[in-house]
Amino acid sequence: MKIAFFSTKPYDRIWFEPMGKEYGFDIRFYAVPFQEETISLARGFDAVCIFVNDYVNADMIQSLYDMHVKAILLRSAGFNNVDVKAAEDKVLVLRVPSYSPEAVAEFAMGMLLTVNRHIHRAYGRTRDFNMSLNGLMGVDLYHKVAGIIGTGKIGQAMIRICNGFGMQVLAYDPYPNPKLDVEYVSLDEIMSKADVISLHCPLTSETKHIVNSNTIEKMKDGVYLVNTSRGALIDTDALIDGLVAGKFGGVGLDVYEEEEGIFYEDKSNEIMRDENLARLMTFPNVLITSHMGFFTKEATQAIAKVTLENAYALENGLPLVNKVGTEAAK
């Protein structure tokens, strides 16, 4: 099988290159993102392999179909970046539903601890031998209420971590897991009662801007908000308004609504033209990272393994257990 691999970073090759050779795949690595301007590079390949910020619209699906490309291999769990409906009966979409839920959940808790205890600010100060504690006071997490939105595998891992901190955990999910030992409540109750809100749901038409001006107004003053899922779960304009109003104790964002073309790239020598992102960076109680919650040795190895297993199943007519269909996309 010939695979065109887009948005390649050096760390992608660590696992994909040797594993691909074991499978006998011919993988061509491209540093450029997968977009309308680069789709011609997929000609002659059986599949394209893309990442979270490679967006595939209906026109691109048609182009892949015309070039006889059989599949889109997502090296991620989320698939909101692909027009799944347009792909039906034309191009298969295969994803990695689970790699290391603990990696993302651990990172989410790390973000919470950092913004709560101002570790990022303390690090900057002490590098300059400023040992003052002024402005660095946090709060105990013990006995605080953690609101977990989304109780898939990552949400479940976050619940276990919060339980370990002695927090009271409330959860919201439109499809509650009856086997999960957690108290499910309404979304409104999460927003009004939680001291900490952590987002672990997929991005769908129902969850887009689940955090907005109305839900922010319902939150406790001094609430902590963490998002390691998808940027568009949060209405950025509403978030900024809430920050200006002093609503939040701290905000940790590993994802951003308009991160395409910015995250995973070095923009340090450029003017940041995204005004909302630039403004978010000015708040001392906001921590932003570049969609790296998944980025552990174990998780990246698992992503490569499952992605290539998907390709192997396609090539050999085996059941496509990780196929994304229109039902899943609703």
- As annotated, the active-site residues are 230, 259, 291
Pairwise CA distance, residues 25 & 312, whole Å: 9
Detail the DSSP E strand segments found in the chain.
Answer: 2-5, 26-29, 47-50, 71-74, 92-94, 145-149, 168-172, 183-184, 196-199, 223-227, 248-253, 286-288
Cα–Cα distances (Å) from 275 to 237, 242, 279, 280, in that order, read 11, 16, 6, 9
Query: Which residues make Cβ contacts (< 8 Å) with residue 58, sequence separation at least 6?
Result: 83, 86
Amino acid, single-letter form, for residue 63: S
C-alpha angle with apex 78: 49 to 52, nearest 5 degrees?
50
What is the rounded distance in angstroms from the CA atom of residue 127 to the CA atom of residue 328?
Answer: 48
Q: SS3 for 169? A: strand
What does DSSP assign to residue 75?
Answer: S
Structure-token pair, residue 310: 């998907």
